[in-house]
Amino acid sequence: MIKRPLGKTGLLVPPVGLGGIPFQRIDAEGTKAIMARALELGANFIDTARGYTVSEAYIGHGLKALGRDNFILATKSMQRTREGVLKELAISLSDLGTDYIDLYQFHNVANFSDYETLMGEDGAYQAIKEKQAEGVIRHIGISTHSVDLLKRFVEDGHFETIQFPYNPMERQGEDWFKKAHDKGIGFIVMKPFAGGAIDHKELSLRTILHNEAVSVVIPGVDSIEQLEQNVLAASPLTPLSKEEQATMQAEADSLGSHFCRRCRYCLPCAVGIDIPMVFLMEGYYTRYNLKDWVKERYAGFEKKAEDCIDCGLCESRCPYHLPIRDMLKQASAVLD
């Protein structure tokens, strides 16, 4: 894979890296094995987060065996205050088993008041700037799902990287990626498969990587096979043929815009419904004709779509503003 500059950080990153969410589903040894293969393939950019529970610790286990300096390590924190972020940074450093982090990001900044707290006098940004001066943090970035915030981050120019969702179904930030690129801001793509909704994964990765504003895309993997498939999409990177473009477009049209990206920010539900899993089952039932398999699995769900009490709590948390209650009613009509 031909490496790309991560904005003006001076770092060269592979176009395809590793997202750390699925490591939570495996174990420390499995994570190390994936990291080892990633290193062989040149995919040595890893993105994780304090919020991904054991992910940092598993990655730390891999780093110990494979060599810390062989990887470009990015993590993030949901903390917005000085005190909160310094506590989380200490845990990240300890779990990762390192004394420096290449890229520290403020995770999922969701609204302007969140951003103001972050940038304020006792905010997390100032604390991390100080850690940067000490050499503990090499570069500082930010992530969001909001286009309004993306615009603001590009305009303000405080961050060396921005992480944002991007795939053939979610092109809402595209104009701003170019502006970010022109300003020398590294652009990290999350949700390259729309949270698992996209089936044509190779086509999606190639579509994303043909945008020159993209520095690195970070699909999460929980197996070496998935990693190899992702890396293959960029080795070498070829443009989509007319037929491939039509295939990708047909899938985008079939999903529309009201689909769940499985980010899980809506949870916990007031009554314990696993909202993204319900939507996943509905998709398998309606789009993939796996009716018997879905019915069997869904029967084992403790809480079902029909148990929703219409409180709206989940909708206030969904970064995509999905009408979750209406969507659950539709899912219930199919599954319950």
Residue ranges binding ligand SF4 (CB under 6 A): 260-266, 269-271, 273, 275-276, 308-314, 318, 320, 322, 324-325, 328
| Min separation Cβ 189 and ligand SF4, Å | 17
At closest approach, how far in Å is the CB of 156 from ligand SF4? 26
- 222 in Cβ contact with 23 (< 8 Å): yes
Cβ neighbour number for residue 113 with a 10 Å cutoff: 9
Are the C-beta atoms of residues 125 and 119 closer than 8 Å to each other?
yes
Closer residue to ligand SF4 in complex, CB, 216/322: 322
Q: Is 148 exposed, middle or buried (0-12, 13-18, 19+ CB in 10 A)?
A: exposed
Min dist. Cβ of residue 311 to ligand SF4 (A):
4
> Among residues 222 and 274, whose Cβ is nearest to ligand SF4?
274
Distance CA 261, CA 198 (A): 10
- Rounded to whole angstroms, the Cα distance separating 173 from 201 reads 20
Q: Are 13 and 188 in contact (CB under 8 A)?
A: no
Q: Where are the beta strands (DSSP E) in 120-242?
A: 137-143, 161-165, 186-190, 216-217
Judged by CB, which is closer to ligand SF4: 31, or 143? Answer: 143
Residue 275: which of 333, 241, 229, 318 has the closest Cα? 318
Q: At closest approach, how far in Å is the CB of 318 from ligand SF4?
A: 3
Nearest residue (CB) to ligand SF4, 297 versus 325: 325
Nearer residue to ligand SF4 within complex by CB, 13 or 263 = 263
CB of 78 to ligand SF4, least distance (A): 14
CA-CA distances (angstroms) from residue 279 to 164, 199, 215, 255, 333? 22, 15, 31, 12, 12
* Half-sphere exposure for 264 (CA within 13 Å, toward CB): 9
CA 191 to chain CA centroid, Å, is 5
Q: Closest separation between CB of residue 164 and ligand SF4, Å?
A: 15
**Closest separation in Å from C-beta 107 to ligand SF4:** 14
**Which residue number, 109 or 275, has a Cβ lying nearer to ligand SF4?**
275
**Among residues 63 and 198, whose Cβ is nearest to ligand SF4?**
198
Which has the closest alpha carbon to 49: 15, 71, 75? 75
Helices and strands: H and E segment counts in the chain: 14, 10
Least spacing, CB of residue 249 vs ligand SF4, in Å? 22
Nearer to ligand SF4 by C-beta: 65 or 309?
309
